[in-house]
Amino acid sequence: MITAQDCNTIFDQCIGQYHVLDSIDQPLKNSYQQGDINHLLYHKCWIDTVQWHYEDLIRDPNIEPSDGMALKKLIDASNQRRTDMVEQIDDWFLEQFNNVEPEGGAGINTESPAWVVDRLSILALKIYHMQEQASRQGVDEDHLRQAGSKLAVLQEQRVDLSTSFDQLLTGIAAGNRRMKVYRQMKLYNDPTTNPALYKNK
């Protein structure tokens, strides 16, 4: 069974690979075999990493409005891909636990395994970029100290979330936790439910 450490290793690898070129336009190079959970994890983190940099760019106060609108559309599309990828990862977990019969009193968690994976991926990005700030050249000591303090909190959070993730999977496998998945319903992306889209047909 996949562990949080496996996820974190893949996420760190993906983020490091992105920053070799550090360009939102570079192609995804996923060396893991398609259909494998590692392939899904790497792809998921790549989407998150590119979107992280979209979010940086759109906050440029000097951005041209047309460029900002183009970026907003990229962010919207990326958010949908992110959600779709989380659901694919949950499908993988559902298949893994397909033969597990939950106990009568088995409880459910607030999140499915794949949404915890999503949080681990974002945490990996926060840690990478906070580490950049904690070792940044040309800033004062106060900036470095604050960044270092925040980095320590993020690292502690990663340990706690990783532990919780592993406990969740162990519980589901043992039958004392129940895996339940709700599909995301993005009304604003659906031309049949967003008034701005269906009223202009």
The answer on pLDDT for 188 being more than 90 is: no
pLDDT per position as a tens digit, 12-60 = 999 999 999 999 999 999 999 998 999 999 999 999 999 999 999 999 9
Report the pLDDT averaged over residues 120-147.
Answer: 98
d(CA 123, CA 16): 14
pLDDT at 99: 96
Q: Are 130 and 155 in contact (CB under 8 A)?
A: no
Residue 4, pLDDT score:
98
> What would you report as the CA-atom Rg of the chain, rounded to the nearest whole angstrom?
19
Residue scoring higher pLDDT (185 or 2): 2
Please give the mean pLDDT across all residues of the chain: 96
CB 46 within 8 A of CB 82: no
The CA-to-CA distance between both ends of the chain, in Å, stands at 48
Could you give the residue ranges of the DSSP H alpha helices within the chain? Answer: 4-21, 37-58, 65-96, 113-134, 141-174, 195-198
Residues 6 or more apart whose Cβ sits within 8 Å of residue 17:
29
Task: Identify the three-state secondary structure at position 23.
Answer: coil
